[in-house]
Amino acid sequence: MSLETAARDEASPGNGQAPETTVDRLLGGRIEIEQPKKGWHRAGLDALFLAANVPDHARGLVVDLGAGVGTAGMAAAARAPGIEVMLVERDSVALDLARANLARPANAAFSSRCRVVAADISQPMTSREAAGLSREIAAHVLINPPFWPPRSVRRSPAETRAVAHVLAAGGLEEWARVAVSLLEPRGRLTIIYKGDGLAELLPVMADRVGEISIFPLFPRAGVAAHRLIVSGVKGSRAAPRLLPGMVLHPGGTGRYLPEADAILRGERGLTA
């Protein structure tokens, strides 16, 4: 994957304790994001593969829930000209950067179809609705949630990074419940998650969506998947499917195989 990074020492807009940032060009240069250099979760492969689950011909509203600086939602907007995107985030630094990213000239081709919403999924429904997260508004919801249950890993001393990596008390159940409430009938929920997390993820999705597809991402041939892209349709009763998935790298190298590289450059999606 081609990634151009330039470090910046100036503060991000609107925050008294803003971090040092980098400016990264992703999706073959089609999007440009400013994001914290350290102390926060940094966006990259996971966000781009999550966005690739939105078809090029998609229509309607796509909600990037827990959007961070906006990478997944912006990548979806860059590839699918028929969608509008809502970037939902609660962290003030990430919100400032998401707004600034939409104002960057490099993102002008799609920024008018995107908006940033400050909301916390752990808040009551009335608070979320007041922020703009009404029921059944979205054709597609994208989630890149924290991967680790509480006390399962050593928590990062940087609280902002810890929150992005360690699930809160409500766990995946809370993410799935809020996401499905946002979906219109026959809308699709897509989550990217850790490769060994299917036992955690599948029950919370199976209670709420059908037609579940499981798409593994393998670092190399012959090794276990390190990511799962799991997707389901609200209101469907169709059986789940385990898909062949994709190998990212040839053996002995960090280069991307052509199929994976095409997705990371925005030349194709994961769906027809």
Minimal CA–CA distance to 219: which of 211, 208, 227?
227
The confidence band for 157, taking pLDDT boundaries of 50, 70 and 90, is very low
User: Cα separations (Å) of 4 from 22, 149, 167, 192, 235?
Assistant: 10, 33, 31, 24, 42
Whether 22 shows a pLDDT value over 60: the answer reads yes
Q: For 244-272, what is each residue's pLDDT tens digit? A: 999 999 988 889 999 999 999 999 999 75
Whether 6 shows a pLDDT value over 60: the answer reads no
SS (H, E, C) the chain: CCCEEEEECCCCCCCCCCCCEEEEEECCCCEEEEEECCCCCCCCHHHHHHHCCCCCCCCEEEEEECCCCCHHHHHHHHHCCCEEEEEEECCHHHHHHHHHHHCCHHHCCCHHHEEEEECCCCCCHHHHHHHCCCCCCEEEEEECCCCECCCCCCCCCCHHHHHHHECCCCHHHHHHHHHHHHEEEEEEEEEEEECCCHHHHHHHHHCCEEEEEEEEEECCCCCCCCEEEEEEEECCCCCCEECCCEECCCCCCCCCCHHHHHHHCCCCCCCC
pTM: 0.86
Q: Which pLDDT does position 171 carry in this prediction? A: 84
Whether 163 shows a pLDDT value over 50: the answer reads no
Whether 242 shows a pLDDT value over 80: the answer reads yes
Q: Which CATH number fits domain 43-264: 3.40.50.300, 3.40.50.150, 3.10.640.10, 2.60.120.330?
A: 3.40.50.150
Mean pLDDT across the stretch 41-55? 93
The confidence band for 108, taking pLDDT boundaries of 50, 70 and 90, is very high
What does pLDDT average to over the chain? 88
Whether 11 shows a pLDDT value over 60: the answer reads no
The confidence band for 38, taking pLDDT boundaries of 50, 70 and 90, is confident
Q: Which pLDDT does position 159 carry in this prediction? A: 46
The confidence band for 158, taking pLDDT boundaries of 50, 70 and 90, is very low
Mean pLDDT across the stretch 17-37? 91
The confidence band for 26, taking pLDDT boundaries of 50, 70 and 90, is very high
The confidence band for 1, taking pLDDT boundaries of 50, 70 and 90, is very low
Mean pLDDT across the stretch 33-48? 88
Report the DSSP pairing between strands 21-26 and 4-8. antiparallel
The confidence band for 42, taking pLDDT boundaries of 50, 70 and 90, is confident
Mean pLDDT across the stretch 28-33? 96
Amino acid at 180: V
Q: For 195-204, what is each residue's pLDDT tens digit? A: 999 999 999 9
Q: 193 vs 5, which has greater pLDDT?
A: 193
Minimal CA–CA distance to 190: which of 247, 234, 137, 147?
234
Whether 238 shows a pLDDT value over 80: the answer reads yes
Give the residue extent of every domain in the chain. Answer: 43-264
The confidence band for 7, taking pLDDT boundaries of 50, 70 and 90, is very low
